């Protein structure tokens, strides 16, 4: 079988989109090296067997880093460059975006082991999907590789936030995946100053919550001016919380280490005031002016109920009502504190919740994330290409 005969970038002809880098690096598949192009060749053969079509086509998308990966042989790297130059595979800085575009607009199933957690807010249909994702598994009795459908998870919010943070840091060089050390905490916990005083991000009048700088070739740089930044001291330790009403994030606020904050309809001091338009009549009547107090010591989050109608804590996505917190008077001595654990949400009343972000490093308050809506013309074009292509028998 000639693999090139099964590679295409024609959406009208494709049977599967393939996360090429993910497959080549998948050590659960046959191969004696960390990265082995033979795994991709085995996958193409598996697609032919799965579709029962000797002319089956795959749309392969590779991360740009794959073409220079040292773990590949010289011949394998040459093959990848030849395929790219011939228009047989697509190369992107990050393959995920293109793969999910193909799945979203054209309904092309994607072959990958990636969980795509950082894309759940943009493509909410990923959660629980049973028919748009497949994985390659080892099958010695079937030519080495077998294709299997996969059901995507429905992860809690904090896991999504954590993966979004990883992707954001990776894009600016602040996450070291190659050596397995993760986020560059020693740099992310500092404040930085650009030599250009009028720099909107790192200048003299820059906002307190700076975005992450760029780290390239051992130097911290300004993403706007590309000049080295000066370390001007530690960043204040903060934790981000989200207000979620009927599953939709309405607001975010920062909890600063050592400074308690109160959430309610009209709290005094640091905290979050719940806008009237966020709540229906029932919720507005049940939530107190000062409903719950949150405090963070840099490690643990403690919460105290101040309300007249009660506050609950439960597992995110849990089916039970959760645990009602003891309520008390105005003095901290009169109130018992609950230590919030990962995956728990604070319930002010049915449908109104506070959720701790899974991010370790907070850079900005970030407005509510709204799932991207695909362009209507692009959707029509994608649908038009699918009308003449009835689904294959599996």
- The DSSP output letter for 367 is P
For residue 79, give the DSSP letter.
Answer: H
CA dist 253 and 346 (Å) reads 14
313: its two tokens? 């804590």
Tell the residue number behind the tokens 């939709």, with chain if given: 248
- Let me know: does 240 contact 365? Beta carbons within 8 Å: yes
Would you state the pLDDT for residue 377?
A: 33
Q: What domains are defined for the chain?
A: 3-155 (3.40.50.11980), 157-234 (no CATH), 238-356 (2.60.200.20)
Quote the pTM value: 0.70
Compute the distance between CA of residue 199 and CA of residue 205 in angstroms, rounded to an integer.
8
* Res 32: pLDDT: 87
Whole-number Cα distances in Å, 136 to 20, 28, 103, 181, 337: 11, 9, 17, 28, 48
Per-residue pLDDT of 41-75, as tens digits, reads 999 999 999 999 999 999 999 999 999 999 999 99
Give the dihedral of Cα atoms 71, 77, 81, 82; nearest 10 deg. Answer: -150
Count Cβ atoms within 10 A of the Cβ of residue 37 and give its class: 0-12 exposed, 13-18 middle, 19 or more buried: buried
Report the alpha-carbon distance of residue 170 to residue 191 in Å, rounded: 19
Structural contact between residues 43 and 134, judged by C-beta atoms closer than 8 angstroms: no
What is residue 368's predicted lDDT score, i.e. its pLDDT?
35
What's the rounded Cα separation, in Å, for the pair 88 and 111?
17
pLDDT at 299: 86
| pLDDT per residue as tens digits for the range 84-137 | 999 999 999 999 999 999 999 999 999 999 999 999 989 999 999 999 999 999
Given a cut of 50, the residues of the chain with pLDDT beneath it are: 365-394
Contact 169, 183 (CB under 8 A): yes
- Token look-up 């991000």 returns 201
User: What confidence score (pLDDT) does residue 367 get?
Assistant: 39
Does residue 341 contact residue 318 with C-beta atoms inside 8 Å? no
């Amino acid at each position: 079988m000639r693999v090139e005969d099964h590679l295409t970038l024609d959406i009208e002809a494709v049977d599967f989109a393939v996360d090429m880098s993910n497959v080549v690096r998948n050590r659960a598949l046959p191969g004696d090296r960390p990265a082995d192009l033979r795994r991709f060749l085995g996958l193409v053969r598996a697609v032919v067997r799965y579709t029962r079509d000797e002319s089956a086509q795959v749309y392969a998308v590779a991360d740009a880093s794959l073409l220079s990966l040292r773990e590949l042989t010289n011949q394998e790297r040459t093959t990848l460059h030849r395929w790219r130059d011939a228009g047989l595979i697509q190369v992107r800085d990050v393959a995920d975006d293109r793969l999910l575009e193909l799945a979203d607009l054209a309904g092309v199933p994607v072959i990958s082991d990636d969980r795509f957690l950082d894309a759940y807010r943009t493509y909410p249909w990923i959660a629980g999907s049973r028919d748009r994702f497949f994985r390659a598994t080892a099958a010695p009795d079937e030519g080495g590789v077998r294709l299997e459908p996969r059901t995507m998870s429905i992860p809690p919010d904090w896991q999504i936030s954590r993966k979004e943070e990883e992707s954001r840091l990776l894009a600016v060089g602040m996450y070291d995946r190659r050596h397995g050390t993760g986020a560059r905490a020693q740099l992310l916990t500092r404040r930085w100053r650009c030599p250009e005083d009028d720099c909107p991000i790192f200048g003299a009048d820059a906002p307190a919550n700076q975005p992450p700088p760029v780290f390239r070739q051992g130097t911290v740089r300004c993403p706007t001016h590309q000049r080295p930044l000066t370390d001007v001291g530690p960043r204040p330790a903060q934790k981000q919380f989200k207000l979620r009403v009927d599953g939709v994030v309405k607001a975010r606020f920062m909890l600063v280490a050592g400074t308690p904050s109160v959430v309610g309809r009209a709290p005094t001091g640091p905290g979050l005031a719940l806008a009237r338009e966020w709540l229906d009549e029932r919720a507005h009547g049940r939530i107190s002016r000062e409903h719950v107090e949150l405090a963070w010591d840099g490690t643990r989050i403690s919460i105290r109920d101040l309300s007249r109608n009660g506050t609950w804590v439960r597992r995110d996505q849990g089916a039970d009502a959760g645990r009602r917190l003891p309520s008390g008077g105005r003095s901290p001595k009169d109130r018992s504190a609950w230590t919030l654990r990962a995956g728990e949400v604070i319930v002010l009343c049915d449908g109104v919740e506070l959720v701790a972000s899974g991010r370790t490093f907070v850079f900005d308050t970030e407005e509510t994330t709204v799932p991207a809506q695909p362009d209507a013309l692009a959707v029509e074009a994608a649908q038009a290409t699918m009308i003449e292509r009835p689904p294959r028998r599996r």
